[in-house]
C-alpha cells in the first residue's frame, strides 16, 4: 500500500460515517421527491387527474340535475348524490395509474435506474421511497380534488333539492375514500412498474386487472359472478366511495382492506424481483 493510499484510508476511517454521506432512507426519499417534482409528466398527469375529478364531477351533477324529471323511476330511487359528484374518479384513476407505472418504468427506459441503484446498493430503499413519495403526493392531491368535486357537485344538485352534506351518514367516508382508493391504485401502479419494468406492459396489466377483468367476470353464471366479483380489486376498492353498499359486495372497509392486500402483495413481488434481477 502506498503512502497516499494509506493516508486516504486512514482519513476516511477517521471521518464519522454520517459525515461521509451515509445513504439513509430519508435521503433516498428526498432524492425521489426531487425527481418526481422535476418531471413535467408528473405535473401534467396529476393536473389531468385533478381536472378530471373536479370537471367530470361538475358535469355529471349538472346533467343529472338538469334531466332529473326525465330519469326513469329506478334511477331516481337508486340516486346517490355523493357518488354522482365523485364520478370523475373513473377517469382520474387512469392518470394516476399510468403515472404510478411511469415512476419506475420510466427510469428503466432511460437507464437512470442504474444510477439510482448504484447510489443505493441495497435497492429496496429506492422502491420504498418511490412508493412513499408518490403515494403521499397522490393522497394529498386526490383527497383535495375529491373534496372540491363534492362541494361543487352538491352546490349544483342542491339547487334542485337533490344534494347532501358531509355530515350525512357515509358521505365523509366516501369523499375521503376516493383519495384513498386512488392512492392505493397508484401504489399498485408503482409496484407493477418495478415488477414488469416496461411502461406498456405495466399499464396494460394494471388496467387489464382493474377494468377488463370485471367485464369478463360478468360472462360467468350469476352465482359465480356474485361470489367472485366482490373480491376483484376494482370492486373491493371502489366500495369505499359508495354511500350505499351494493348487493353482493364486501362492506366498504373490508373491501378496501382487500384492495390494500393486492397492493401489498404486488409491492412484495416487486421487492423480490428488484433484489434478484439485474438493473
- pLDDT at 147 exceeding the cut of 70: yes
The answer to whether 46 touches 95, Cβ cutoff 8 Å, is yes
User: Residue 26 has which C-alpha cell?
Assistant: 430519508
Given this model, what pLDDT does residue 123 score?
85
Give the C-alpha separation, 4 to 172, whole Å.
67
User: Residue 182 has which C-alpha cell?
Assistant: 386512488
Percent of the chain with pLDDT over 90: 65
Give the C-alpha separation, 193 to 131, whole Å.
11
- pLDDT at 163 exceeding the cut of 70: yes
Percent of the chain with pLDDT over 70: 92
pLDDT tens per residue, range 67-104: 888 888 888 888 899 999 999 999 999 999 999 999 99
Given this model, what pLDDT does residue 279 score?
59
Core vs surface per residue 206-241: b (16+ CB within 10 A) or e: bbebbeebbeeeeeeeeeebeeebbebbbbbbbbbb
Find cell 403515494 and name the residue.
Answer: 135
Give the C-alpha separation, 34 to 82, whole Å.
36
Region 230-249: mean pLDDT is 92
Q: Lowest-pLDDT range, 69-78, 130-139, 148-157, 177-186?
A: 69-78
Amino acid at each position: 500500500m502506498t503512502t497516499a493510499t494509506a493516508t486516504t484510508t486512514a482519513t476516511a476511517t477517521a471521518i464519522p460515517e454520517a459525515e461521509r454521506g451515509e445513504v439513509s432512507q430519508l435521503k433516498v426519499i428526498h432524492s425521489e421527491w426531487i425527481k418526481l417534482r422535476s418531471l413535467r409528466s408528473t405535473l401534467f398527469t396529476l393536473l389531468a387527474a385533478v381536472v378530471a375529478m373536479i370537471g367530470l364531477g361538475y358535469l355529471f351533477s349538472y346533467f343529472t340535475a338538469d334531466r332529473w324529471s326525465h330519469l326513469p323511476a329506478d334511477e331516481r330511487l337508486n340516486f346517490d348524490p355523493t357518488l354522482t359528484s365523485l364520478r370523475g374518479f373513473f377517469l382520474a384513476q387512469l392518470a394516476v395509474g399510468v403515472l404510478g407505472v411511469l415512476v419506475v418504468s420510466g427510469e428503466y427506459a432511460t437507464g437512470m435506474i442504474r444510477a439510482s441503484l448504484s447510489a443505493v446498493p441495497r435497492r429496496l430503499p429506492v422502491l420504498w421511497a418511490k412508493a412513499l413519495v408518490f403515494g403521499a403526493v397522490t393522497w394529498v392531491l386526490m383527497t383535495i380534488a375529491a373534496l372540491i368535486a363534492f362541494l361543487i357537485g352538491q352546490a349544483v344538485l342542491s339547487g334542485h333539492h337533490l344534494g347532501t352534506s358531509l355530515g350525512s351518514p357515509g358521505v365523509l367516508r366516501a369523499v375521503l375514500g376516493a383519495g384513498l382508493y386512488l392512492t392505493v391504485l397508484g401504489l399498485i401502479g408503482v409496484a407493477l412498474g418495478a415488477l414488469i419494468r416496461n411502461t406498456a406492459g405495466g399499464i396494460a396489466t394494471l388496467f387489464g386487472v382493474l377494468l377488463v377483468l370485471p367485464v369478463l367476470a360478468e360472462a360467468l353464471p350469476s352465482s359465480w359472478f356474485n361470489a367472485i366479483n366482490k373480491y376483484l380489486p376494482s370492486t373491493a376498492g371502489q366500495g369505499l366511495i359508495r354511500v350505499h353498499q351494493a348487493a353482493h359486495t364486501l362492506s366498504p372497509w373490508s373491501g378496501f382492506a382487500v384492495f390494500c392486500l393486492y397492493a401489498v402483495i404486488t409491492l412484495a413481488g416487486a421487492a423480490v424481483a428488484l433484489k434478484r434481477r439485474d438493473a
